Each structure stands twice: as structure tokens, then as C-alpha cells.
Amino acid sequence: MIKEIKISSRSRSQMIDITKMVQELVTESDVKNGTCFIFVPHTTAGITINENADPSVAADILKETDKIVPWEDGYKHIEGNSAAHIKASMMGLSQVVLVENGRLILGTWQGIYFCEFDGPRTRKVLVKILGD
């Protein structure tokens, strides 16, 4: 069964820690050992795993992606959000996290981030948990 997380971003670019929301879905699933698939069905948003102990890391990631892919750069896409499409492709649209004893297996400092690049918007993240 596929579960859905609803997310409301508040700015054009934002990294939103969804680790607790994903863990809640794992807990509700009663899967003790398996795999958690996380997928973003949007072309201007992505998903990544990175440090969630210090919020300045997310701010630094957004700052540097803005340098690499500026919002205005003579893009041809008529909607004017090419930068968001490029950044989403750079981050990727899915992540896979192992589940053991009913818990996501993440490193000490790791968290799961929804990456908004064309906000503010209401978005969704799809989660599928497989296992026993």
C-alpha cells in the first residue's frame, strides 16, 4: 500500500525535514524489517538524505544550488521555472531507506529532506514500505 505525506512549502526554495513523518508511516505499517521507498511525484521538487542536526547545512545546500543553477539564466522554458526543474533533477526524485526492528536505518546525523524548488506550493511525497 502506498501512503502519502502532504507538504506545504513557504518559500521558493526550502528543505523540509520529513524524517519523523516517514518514521510514523513505518511504525503504522507494522513492518519490522524491510525497505522504505520514498518518491516525489513532482518535476520541480526532490528528495535527499543529509545532515539534520544543524539547520545551517540545509541553508548552505540551498545557497550553493542557487549559485550553481541561478533562477534567471536565459532559460528557454516558457513557464520560467527551469532552475527548479534542473535542481530537482540534481537532487533526484526518490530515496530508499532500510528498515530494521521497525525503525528507519539512518546515520546518526542523517535526515530525509523534501526539497522544494518552485514554491510556495502544496506537495505530496509517496511512501511504500515493504517487508515483514
Q: pLDDT tens across 55-96, in order?
A: 999 999 999 999 999 999 999 999 999 999 999 999 999 999
pLDDT bracket for residue 100 (50, 70, 90): very high
Cβ distance 96 to 37 under 8 Å? Answer: yes
Give residue 28's region: left, alpha or beta (phi > 0; psi -120 to 50). Answer: alpha
Q: What is the pLDDT of residue 118?
A: 98
117 is in which domain, residue-wise?
2-131
Q: State mean pLDDT over 89-112.
A: 98
Phi then psi dihedrals of residue 73, to 5 deg: -160, 30
The torsion defined by the Cα of 116, 89, 49 and 26, in degrees rounded to 10, comes to 80
pLDDT bracket for residue 26 (50, 70, 90): very high
Provide the number of structural domains found in the chain. 1
CATH number assigned to the domain comprising residue 56: 2.60.120.460
- Candidates 45, 8, 20, 48; CA nearest to 104 is 20
